Amino acid sequence: MSSSLVDRESTVDLLKDLVKIDSVNPSLVKGAAGEAEIAEFLSDYMQGLGLRTAVEEVDTGRPNVVGVLEGEEQGPSLLLNGHTDTVGVDYMDVDPFNPVIRDGKLYGRGAFDMKGGLASIVAATKAVVESDRKLRGNLVISAVCDEEYASIGTERLMNDILPDAAIIGEPTELDILVAHKGFSWVEIVTRGFAAHGSQHEKGIDAIAMMGRVLVELEKLQGGLARKTHEKVGHPTLHASIIEGGSELSTYPDCCVLKIEWRTVPGEDESTIRNEIESVLSGLASRDGNFKADYEIILSRGPMEVSENESICQSLANVILEVTGRVPEYIGRPFWLDTEIIWRKGVPAVAFGPSGDGAHAAVEYVNVESVITAARVLERFAHSYLGSI
């Protein structure tokens, strides 16, 4: 196989251009810029490469951009996906949209999460185009909106396409992410009985009832800590928000607790339902006045791809060829868009550059790792899609 055509200078320029564009997610930060401008920039860039390019408005001002390098024959299709949105910038020390390179690190909001990976994806595609080697199947690259909030971008994308394999360019330090946790948000409501504060024989204190729930949930955390998954650790839960009561001299008739539960591969909503139902029914059996119900208000599942999937094996081979290093198959405790693609039956992993500071005051990506990731993706595209 020939050497890489990934061009360092144009890749770094591309990364700088992406960081310069404010694309803070407006669902996270009211009035923020959103993904329209960065989508337009990427659409122009992809068109310049000769890709069949489409901008699709998922919601007002919230577009996805998809570029397709058409294969010559009926071959497998490969999706390279990255998100264009970032988290907010209020707490950053430096100008978040003025990318600066120091000691091989490019600083700026989104440099690490994940404009670095996005630059790798586009640079790899540019190199494949410039190789003039025809592919059998389609190379599809997508720059999606809203990963940092509700992932409406990848959800929409996966309604429209069904690739044979997918790589998300999230930062993985050039290792292969094959597993991550899921999460569920659960609302628990305890019911009391409102009465004047002097009428203890009538009033039932819903907040005190919730106290009992909290004690049981804390005990449950100990049990969850023993259910360790080798790549992502153990499931966890924590209380997030609690509300109850209206005035000092009144027994509260209602208390609402919202908790977050982080699940590991092999678990789903039924795991959570079973645990919560046993907590609530246990408390009810000890006190006839205890009344509570619950609802799962949002769930994102965990995911795990077998290391024996051909995408894992062949990506590992390519990483070894390009870097001289055997990559690790890693898991992460946070949720990624990978799950949305994987849920459709598509083998999906994450692979991307190194750096630090996702969602933090100082964020950077290692420039060299962006170039290396691009070279890996370039070589992988040729090998997976089969150059003719």
**Strand partners of residue 233:** 229
Are 113 and 18 in contact by the 8 Å Cβ rule? The answer is: no
The DSSP secondary structure of 273-291, one letter per residue, reads: HHHHHHHHHHHHHH-TT-E
Name the residue with tokens 């153990």. Answer: 234
Q: Shortest distance, CB of residue 334 to Zn ion, whole angstroms?
A: 9
- Tell me which amino acid residue 30 is: K
Other beta carbons within 10 Å of 157: 26
Closest CA to 376 of 194, 137, 128, 183: 128
Quick one: 113 or 175, whose CB is closer to Zn ion? 113
Residue 211 CB, shortest distance to Zn ion, in Å, is: 37
Q: Which single residue is written with the structure tokens 């870097």?
A: 323
Q: Which of 336, 380, 383, 126 lies closest to 232, judged by CA? A: 336
Is cis: bond before 92, omega within 30 of 0?
no
Least distance from C-beta 113 to Zn ion, angstroms?
A: 4
Shortest Å distance, C-beta 87 to Zn ion: 9
Cβ at position 173, least distance to Zn ion in Å: 14
User: Which residue type, as a one-letter code, is found at position 14?
Assistant: L
Residue at 129: amino acid letter: V
- Smallest separation, CB 83 to Zn ion (Å): 6
Residue closer to Zn ion by CB (options 253, 337) is 337
Phi/psi of residue 110, nearest 5 degrees: 85, -5
Residues 114-153, interacting with Zn ion (CB under 5 A): 114
| Cis, bond preceding 114 (omega within 30 deg of 0) | yes
Rounded to a whole number of angstroms, the minimum distance from the CB of residue 355 to Zn ion is 12
Q: Which is nearer to Zn ion, 170 or 339 (CB)?
A: 170
CA distance 162 to 315: 20
In the complex with Zn ion, which residue's Cβ is closer, 25 or 77? 25
Pick between residue 347 and residue 353 the one whose CB is nearest to Zn ion: 353
Q: Which is nearer to Zn ion, 109 or 379 (CB)?
A: 109
Contact, 19 vs 97, CB < 8 A? Answer: yes
Our CB check for Zn ion shows the closer of 213 and 336 to be: 336
Options 43-51, 162-170, 219-227, 286-294: segment touching Zn ion (CB under 5 A): 162-170
Site string for Zn ion, 102-121 (x = CB under 5 A): -----------xx-------
For residues 113 and 253, which CB has a smaller minimum distance to Zn ion in the complex? 113
Report 216-255 residues binding Zn ion (CB under 5 A).
none
Touching Zn ion, residues 164-203 (CB under 5 A): 170
CB of 190 to Zn ion, least distance (A): 36
From residue 61 to residue 100, what is the string marking binding to Zn ion with x (rule CB under 5 A)? ----------------------------------------
- Give all strands (DSSP E) within 46-164, no chain letters: 52-59, 62-69, 78-83, 100-102, 105-107, 139-144
Give the residues lining the site for Zn ion (CB under 5 A): 113-114, 170
